[in-house]
Structure 1
């Protein structure tokens, strides 16, 4: 019997697209999340009309943030941001609990075109060298937490592994995949659609000593210093190896459900799934927010950004929404707020 049919007969709704599915493999002391993205990803990427290589990279970052952001157990935000010297100088993906995600990229069009012509469209080539920051913001009354990973010729999967090694110290494995599919709807012209998938697994045994990992290389150890070696826990080796067997086509196949993929991976041990968390493309920008931001500038700065007709035009980098203001009105409102 197909796993999807069995779940339906048990009254369990399938996660479907654009939803993160938490799961646990209790015999291996593993917990994780899995996600398949489709229509939401199309909406984010279509409004920007990025080059294919940039869209693919941003989609991979969105997938990673979907896996990480939905783990937050409080009201807050999780933000991934890169700053680097490659053709794609910046990626920003912002997740606000419980379900809102937005994303944008900055890039050098000529440099990206050259990379595409040379076939250098992997994440490491597009990002170049710099750093990636992952920031957890719990609100104005709580201290922000930030983990920074060096970008030195690595892709986003390896970035995630380094982040958990350095910041969380939790044995973690991540698989990500992005692709385009040709969607043929009856009576419509075929069109390309974006598809992405990801699986994250973490080793969380009750005994913390079982989570031990090799020490990070100190970088300044003597040349012949002995390295620290020990045997990894067998349960974690098994779980990590299984996740690493996932092929890209399994993670982007529209005919495969995320439940079926998890069943394929862990059916011998038994996998338990929890209610899925839907996520959606939703920006936080609004006219009131932007007006408040503008009033925070000095009079000189407001005058500098004013165009000939006395207006101020603001376009949101995330959702491309455009807002028009009159500089005179902003200055008057600013003056009123500063009045005793």
Structure 2
């Protein structure tokens, strides 16, 4: 099947509109960038897959920011994976980290309970938009109670922005010919209903986070119903397949109604840690005595949880800053 435009590769997000369906969206493929995030900590496969979904979701949302700033996704729960933090440093930087209980993850795997919802358990997901110094942070919080990240994203957009949204996330390990290990990769797609005349009247949001219509008098817009029903037909392997470019998948789904595709926006794995930032943190947040207690064999070592970079400092070098 030929396309009339170049096809984007990995580590890029592609914005698009479905004008006849009053829908806009973004679709992405992550390859080397996601593999770097997931492989450096040697996570168990179920944990890596869950963190990968969180990275995809954050990139899909963060890539829409129209300013320089950060989108921070954070989950805190009672499940085997009790903490996830993903930073999107607009316009193109991503980093992520997961904290988990090894014994709980092992037990869950033995019992076949490795779905994202089961690994997360109960708690909350927070999305924070930080536009930098001298600005107020915006934060939206959604309960995590037995739902997947896809379902939680739907609830988040309805609660925070009142925009009907559908999300698909897929993470997989794939073997590469000539490579010594399988590589992590992912795909994701987000669509939102934005009718020309304004926001569509929506049914009340049920307490379980499912946004299916419950009002018998509610009529879902035909275009939005078609857009999300087509998205629901996409299989995980199709979404993450390196041989199926975002443009090719969009054409396959929406060629009958027409899809307008915009230039891809590159993404990269990038940590924002630095020796200067950590030195400033140690100088401003700890006393001389506390820094002395941190020292092992005469030096303070700080390891970044995101990228595993190690920074070492002499505990006495900070005393001159008082």
The answer to whether TM tops 0.5 is: yes
* Alignment map for 1:138-217 (pairs within 5 Å): 138-185=131-178, 189=180, 191-209=181-199, 211-217=200-206
CA displacement at 1:207 relative to structure 2 = 1.0
Counterpart check, 1:113 vs 2:106: yes
SS of 2:225 mapped into structure 1: helix
Quote the Cα distance in structure 2 between the aligned partners of 1:77 and 1:120. 33
CA displacement at 1:206 relative to structure 2 = 1.8
Quote the Cα distance in structure 1 between the aligned partners of 2:252 and 2:43. 35
Deviations 1:1-33 (Å, cap 9, x if unpaired)?
422xx32xxxxx322101000001111111100
Partner of 1:274: 262
- Superposition RMSD in Å: 1.5
Counterpart check, 1:42 vs 2:31: no
Unpaired segments of 5 or more residues in structure 2?
Answer: 209-213
Q: TM-score, normalised by structure 1?
A: 0.90
Counterpart check, 1:134 vs 2:127: yes
Describe the shift of the 1:241–1:59 C-alpha distance in structure 2 as closer, same or farther (beyond 3 A). Answer: same
Quote the Cα distance in structure 2 between the aligned partners of 1:152 and 1:76. 30
Partner of 1:305: 294
Say which of 54, 61, 69 aligns to 1:76: 69
CA contact (8 A) 1:69 1:77 kept: yes
Unpaired segments of 5 or more residues in structure 1?
Answer: 8-12, 220-225, 336-340
Partner of 1:223: none
CA displacement at 1:73 relative to structure 2 = 0.4
State the aligned residue count: 316
Partner of 2:2: 2
Partner of 1:338: none
Q: TM-score, normalised by structure 2?
A: 0.95
CA contact (8 A) 2:77 2:124 kept: yes
* Alignment map for 1:12-51 (pairs within 5 Å): 13-51=6-44
Quote the Cα distance in structure 1 between the aligned partners of 2:79 and 2:151. 17
CA contact (8 A) 1:310 1:328 kept: no
Larger radius of gyration: 1
CA contact (8 A) 2:14 2:27 kept: yes
CA displacement at 1:214 relative to structure 2 = 0.8
Quote the Cα distance in structure 1 between the aligned partners of 2:245 and 2:58. 20
CA contact (8 A) 2:7 2:248 kept: no
